[in-house]
Amino acid sequence: MSSALLVAGIDISKFSTPCFVVNLEALENNLKRLDEVQKRTGAKVLAALKGFAMHPVAPLVMKYLKGTTASGLHELIHGAKEFGGEAHVYCPAFDERDFGKICDLAHHIVFNSPNQWKRFRGAVENHSKASGKKISCGIRVNPEYSEIETDLYNPCFKHSRLGTTLANFNEALLDGIEGLHFHTLCEQNSDTLARTLPHVEEKFGKFIDSQCHWVNFGGGHHITRPDYNVDLLCETINAFRKRHPYVEVYLEPGEAVALNTGILVTQVLETLDNEMPLAILDTSASTHMPDVLEMPYRPQIVGAGVPGEKSVTYRLGGLTCLAGDVIGDYSFDAPLSPGDKLVFLDMAHYSMVKTTTFNGVKLASLATYDPRSQQAKLIKEFGYEDYKCRLG
């Protein structure tokens, strides 16, 4: 489903702005594509909660995927209690104060280094003996190969803290480790994985064959993007499994689960001029879509064009005091006025999970829409108490 179809049939006047609206049909189409990979390869696909964690749609997600992967205790609790299935967790450094609860919930724990495993191995083994629950543990490795150009998103850039390089892969400390995890991709196609995997196997293949029950290929696989080569992904996984017949494969996409499934409905609060037309919205790049500033990128707006394409070009900004809270420059067919609704596309992943209440800005409401039944549902509206509870 193309992004433009996300607003088809939705009466956006029904939603109090700002509001994230998730298209259930588009979400299910993504999940079906991920399930296709599972069926063709035998690999297991997990939902990475760091990208999309909207628990009201958990039953739909878990209809197709095998579980969730978390980046710490709170995401782990969320995945185990709200989603179900296998519960995986990785953290660059675990906190002893949290680790007992992590053992209570996790099926797989991935450590960042052999030293982390040495430190927590006793706790894992003691918990397993006391509870009777087997926890499978792994090490995240850094194959020192990545095709990501922006260091902010590159786990393998120079001096990265994420994962263990071959030089630091002390096999003497790895008794009891059952798996390896690598994450080297970001919004990339399957050809990048195909070029990356030989570097992983060259450095760590001996360990995979001698000790591993599973290898986690990490996230960043843009599987649900229209031009993604699913056939090559399946061929790559199947070839890996043929080379390592006793090793299970996991994938943990975050973005691919919710790619092109959500919109952010906003409205214009004010227009002004400072050597160009300006518009202030009731949303904010800083608080509601921080990746606009962090990546950075320019989200698409329904009916808007690039600067100069249409009759009038506006610079759109948020309502915080941050001078750089600027979403971007967009052109429109007619001048904007207070109350006009604007719809930002592809706003489900890495949006809701990263929102803040900086300046006391109201969190965007959450809603779903199913074009098959034409049913819109408001999930939650936020207010002052949501701001207050974070501060004491």
| Residue 9: predicted pLDDT | 62
The 10s digit of each residue's pLDDT in 44-66 is 999 999 999 999 999 999 999 99
**Cα Rg, the chain, nearest whole Å:** 22
Question: Which tokens sit at 121?
Answer: 């191995």
Mean pLDDT by 10 residues, the chain (392 residues): 48 85 96 98 98 98 98 98 98 97 98 97 97 97 93 91 96 96 96 97 96 97 97 98 97 96 96 98 96 92 97 97 97 97 94 96 96 91 95 92
For residue 49, give the amino acid letter: L
Fold type of domain 42-258: TIM Barrel (3.20.20)
| CATH 3.20.20.10 domain extents, the chain | 42-258
Rounded alpha-carbon distances, angstroms, from residue 152 to 90, 144, 158, 197: 19, 16, 11, 22
| Residue 374: predicted pLDDT | 86
Q: Does domain 3-21+262-347+355-388 have CATH number 2.40.37.10?
A: yes
Handedness of CA 8, 12, 15, 18 (dihedral sign): positive
Task: Please classify residue 300 by burial: count the beta carbons closer than 10 Å to its beta carbon, then call 0-12 exposed, 13-18 middle and 19+ buried.
Answer: middle
- For residue 118, the SS3 value is helix
Closest CA to 84 of 100, 101, 64: 64
| CATH 2.40.37.10 domain extents, the chain | 3-21+262-347+355-388
Whole-angstrom distance, CA of residue 340 vs CA of residue 303? 12
| Residue 12: predicted pLDDT | 76
Whole-angstrom distance, CA of residue 260 vs CA of residue 22? 9
